[in-house]
């Protein structure tokens, strides 16, 4: 199996992917060729200094916005596997541009930035326009045979649920909002588990190729989320239902509010799947549920 990997992006998911690759390398005493693609800036030196554990890491300083598809392809073709962790920060069309460059490079395997919901099930024309681009990426990958692909669907990143500006759970105000219905469910997965499970999938034998693979830390309803949060914080939270008409009106009143669009799109059935259908459940691989994540990232860090 090929041993060279390029991670696009050094955000939360990108760093989790790098940590998991280096952990695999250490655990299996294998020498992997690992690169990370970052925007050219003075922060590169800081990144290298702050991450001395990433031995022999190759820094590819490339501007995803300014560089052409052939320029990106020239970098990608140096690697066997490219894992995109850039998110949507590059703007409209960026994920399609990256995918076209990957296909032009004819690398062996590509893991696109699809660590989210079941875009096939949600379909086009949802409240979140970026989801249409995700489907365009899937169309490009499925229409060709030169590059293998693996899509890892993880639901909502657990940390996102607890962002104060996202507004679903406010720890400061002790409020919990349900999107659509208290019985509606979400699949949640931590960044660390997205990294670990993706690397686990890449090193599976026999190989997993050209498939959508579902992973999860936990799938639970908004009512269950509220119960667990109240129990862990030993406090009562005000429970507020944002039903679909309310969420639709929020978008009408402020169509440019990205979070309002996320609120509505996460009322869709394609944002949750049973744990029994996940790669980690089938392989008996532990992943952090919401209680463990809160203990490790909120309660422990505030001690």
**pLDDT block averages, 10 residues each, the chain of length 303:** 87 95 92 92 70 85 95 97 90 95 98 97 94 97 98 98 97 98 98 98 96 98 98 98 98 95 96 98 98 94 61
pLDDT score of 302: 60
* Whole-structure pTM value: 0.95
Q: Are 95 and 113 in contact (CB under 8 A)?
A: yes
Q: Is the Cβ–Cβ distance between 131 and 119 less than 8 Å?
A: yes
pLDDT of residue 42: 55
**Which residues are within 8 A (CB) of 256 and not within 5 positions of it... i.e. 6 or more apart?**
none
**207 vs 1: CA distance, rounded Å:** 9
HSE at residue 239, side-chain half, CA atoms within 13 A, is: 15
Q: How far apart are CA 154 and CA 277, in angstroms?
A: 12
- Give the pLDDT confidence score for residue 301 in this predicted structure: 67
């Amino acid at each position: 199996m090929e041993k060279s990997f390029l991670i696009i992006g050094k955000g939360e998911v990108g760093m989790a992917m790098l940590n998991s690759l280096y952990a695999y390398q250490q655990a299996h005493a294998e020498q992997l060729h690992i690169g990370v693609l970052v925007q050219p800036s003075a922060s590169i030196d800081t990144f290298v200094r702050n991450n001395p554990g990433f031995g022999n890491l190759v820094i590819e300083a490339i501007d995803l916005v300014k560089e052409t598809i052939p320029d990106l392809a020239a970098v990608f073709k140096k690697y066997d596997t490219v894992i995109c962790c850039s998110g949507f920060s590059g703007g409209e069309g960026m994920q399609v541009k990256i995918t076209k460059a990957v296909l032009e490079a004819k690398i062996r395997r590509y893991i696109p930035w699809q660590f989210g919901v079941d875009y096939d099930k949600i379909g086009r024309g949802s409240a979140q326009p970026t989801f249409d681009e995700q489907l365009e990426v899937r169309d490009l990958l499925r229409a060709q045979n030169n590059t293998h692909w693996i899509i890892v669907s993880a639901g909502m990143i657990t940390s996102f649920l607890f962002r104060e500006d996202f507004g679903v759970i406010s720890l400061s105000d002790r409020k919990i909002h349900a999107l659509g219905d208290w019985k509606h469910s979400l699949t949640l997965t931590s960044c660390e588990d997205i990294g670990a499970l993706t690397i686990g999938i890449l090193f599976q034998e026999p190989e997993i190729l050209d498939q959508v693979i579902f992973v999860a830390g936990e799938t639970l309803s908004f009512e269950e989320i509220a119960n667990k949060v109240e129990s862990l914080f030993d406090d009562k939270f005000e429970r507020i239902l944002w039903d679909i008409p309310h969420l639709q009106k929020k978008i009408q009143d402020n169509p440019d509010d990205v979070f309002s669009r996320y609120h509505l799109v996460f009322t869709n059935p394609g944002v949750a799947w049973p744990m029994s259908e996940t790669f980690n459940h089938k392989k008996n691989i532990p992943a952090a549920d919401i209680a463990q994540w809160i203990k490790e990232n909120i309660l422990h860090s505030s001690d």
